[in-house]
Amino acid sequence: MTASPDMSSRISSSPGLLNQMQSLIAELNDLPVTHDVNQFLIGSGNSAASDEQVLVAETDDGAELGVYIDSNVLLRLQHCDPMLKLCDANLADFCTALEGVSHFQYLVWCMQHGRAVSLIELELQAEVDKYSIALWLLLQQTQGRFPGGLHMRMFSQVSFAKELDKTGLQRYQEANRCAAYYCQYTDRKFLSCRQRRVDCWLRELRNFYRCSHHAKLRRALH
């Protein structure tokens, strides 16, 4: 598994921030960090269709990966660090960057375990990662106060890129719907109740991460 210099030019980034995001994904899902996402970060040779993309190219030796995150997104996050204070001003950029890191981490993990990955599975896991990590950060930043409006902000008050074709739009909408249902379930069962059970929440997230495509969808909507 290698970075792909042929996809577009390499760029410098905010390594500390992306490494922190990767570490949070690894911590919540009990994963090793075997490949540094910054080593796979690429620039956009042309005008990118979105602020975040993960590119995969099959090779004789395996696969090449490239992670694109718009430089303006990274710059704004440097000036308004979500690791210090996650808020309305940086939530959208935080989700954009974290989605790219989530896609990368999940693809690496699946490749190392010889698993195929569907696009809906990739998007669903990213939606769960984004919400869970945002929730985890806010619980730490507010001395444990549960952020009741976060679920609506991340799953209901969203829009989808206009350039998506019908198939792509349906995939994103389905991932959003399944993740919203699943995260609402885990909130109610483990975190927003009177007796918070963080250890059980983490165990559930880690089991979900390791589910196969169909099992993941079933678990999200159970």
Furthest CA-CA distance within the chain: 54
Alpha carbon distance 153, 140 (integer Å): 19
Residue 165 has pLDDT above 90, yes or no: no
1 confidence band (pLDDT: 50, 70, 90):
low
Number of H helices, E strands in the chain: 8, 4
What does the block give as tokens for 168?
């792509």
Residue 21 DSSP one-character state: H
Mean pLDDT of 190-194: 87
Q: Evaluate whether 176 touches 159 at the Cβ level (below 8 Å).
A: no
52-62: per-residue pLDDT in tens? 999 988 877 77
Which of 37, 49, 46 is CA-nearest to residue 13?
A: 37
Residue 86 DSSP one-character state: -
- Say what the pLDDT of residue 7 is: 38
CA distances from 87 to 6, 13, 21, 22, 43 (A): 37, 22, 16, 20, 27
44 confidence band (pLDDT: 50, 70, 90):
low
Mean pLDDT of 139-163: 90
Mean pLDDT of 15-34: 94
The whole-chain average pLDDT of the chain stands at: 89
CA distances from 195 to 28, 133, 136, 184, 192 (A): 20, 20, 17, 16, 8
What does the block give as tokens for 95?
């989700």
61-115: per-residue pLDDT in tens? 778 899 999 999 999 999 999 999 999 999 999 999 999 999 999 999 999 999 9
- Neighbouring CB atoms inside 10 A of 134's CB total 22
Report yes or no on whether pTM surpasses 0.85.
yes
Q: How far is CA 68 from the centre of its chain?
A: 14
44 vs 137, higher pLDDT: 137
